[in-house]
Amino acid sequence: MIALVRYMSTVLLLSQRYLAPLLLFLGLVAVLTSSDTGPLTATYASVAGAMLPCSVWLTMTLIGLEDQAHRSIVVVSAGGRPLRVLLATVGTAAIWCLLLMSAGLVLPLLSGTHTPGLTDLALGTAAQLTCAFTGIAIGVVCSRLVFRRQGYALVLALVLLLAVLLGKGVSPVNIMLTHLQSASDSADALAPTGALLAVTAGLLAAAVAMTQAITRRKA
């Protein structure tokens, strides 16, 4: 698994196709948190919102780096286990999202006037991971593994992004962002955000299982 993650990260680096989602994330964070003096709960809500489309883009890019022939070779090299390759792909996307998350935790502190505590940083981590897991799940379902025509995949990805952002009372992301925007204390918001993170981890697992089932039927 580690070798697969290293291989996929290397391919992504060499392709330089990580630059677009990376620059989008940094740009959104800079715009949304520049000279911010409000509570860190709202600041990290904005950063988490920026993580969502970037994680979708990064995941779809990562899966789309190789055509079917090259991916079949990777599966054979992994012992003929396509699920292992899919899990490695998800793991690689998660690692890259962790790198973005680090920037998302630090940049608002440099541009704003905040004195963060451990609770604030934990809240920022949980909020970004919630959106990252949701974005990876959308990216997996809308990837080339499921859709051969990427135009359809892009439309579905945009629809799902709008659904998770605007689905009041239904979407874990919408519930979390709404709560963080109105919360004034990170300690009070940490437990609900952690619960929503667990929900999105389950959604990601379901997305991986569904994608694997579809891929197996296509084989």
Of 42, 49, 33, the C-alpha closest to 132 is 49
pLDDT tens digits, 141-157: 999 999 888 889 999 99
pLDDT tens digits, 164-189: 999 888 899 999 999 998 887 888 89
User: What tokens appear for 152 in the block?
Assistant: 């359809």
C-alpha to C-alpha distance for 160 and 191, rounded to whole angstroms = 26
Helices (H) and strands (E) in the chain, counts: 9, 0
Q: Give the predicted TM-score (pTM) of the model.
A: 0.94
pLDDT tens digits, 8-41: 999 999 999 999 999 999 999 988 887 666 778 8
The average pLDDT across 105-130 equals 87
The average pLDDT across 130-144 equals 96
The amino acid that residue 218 corresponds to is K
115 backbone φψ class: left, alpha, beta (φ>0; ψ -120 to 50): beta
The average pLDDT across 195-204 equals 97
Pinpoint the alpha helices (H) of 18-149: 19-33, 40-63, 68-77, 82-111, 118-141
The reported pLDDT for the residue numbered 81 is 85
pLDDT more than 70, % of the chain: 97
**Parent domain of 66:** 2-218
The reported pLDDT for the residue numbered 86 is 93
**In contact, 21 and 61? CB cutoff 8 Å:** yes
Of 178, 157, 177, 156, the C-alpha closest to 49 is 177
pLDDT tens digits, 47-98: 999 999 999 999 999 998 877 777 888 888 878 788 899 999 999 999 999 9
User: What tokens appear for 214 in the block?
Assistant: 């579809």
b/e for 4-23, b at 16 or more Cβ within 10 A? bbebbbebbeeeebbeebbe
The reported pLDDT for the residue numbered 52 is 96
pLDDT tens digits, 43-52: 899 999 999 9
Structurally, how many domains does the chain consist of? 1
pLDDT at 204 over 80: yes
C-alpha to C-alpha distance for 18 and 198, rounded to whole angstroms = 27
User: What tokens appear for 145 in the block?
Assistant: 């593994």
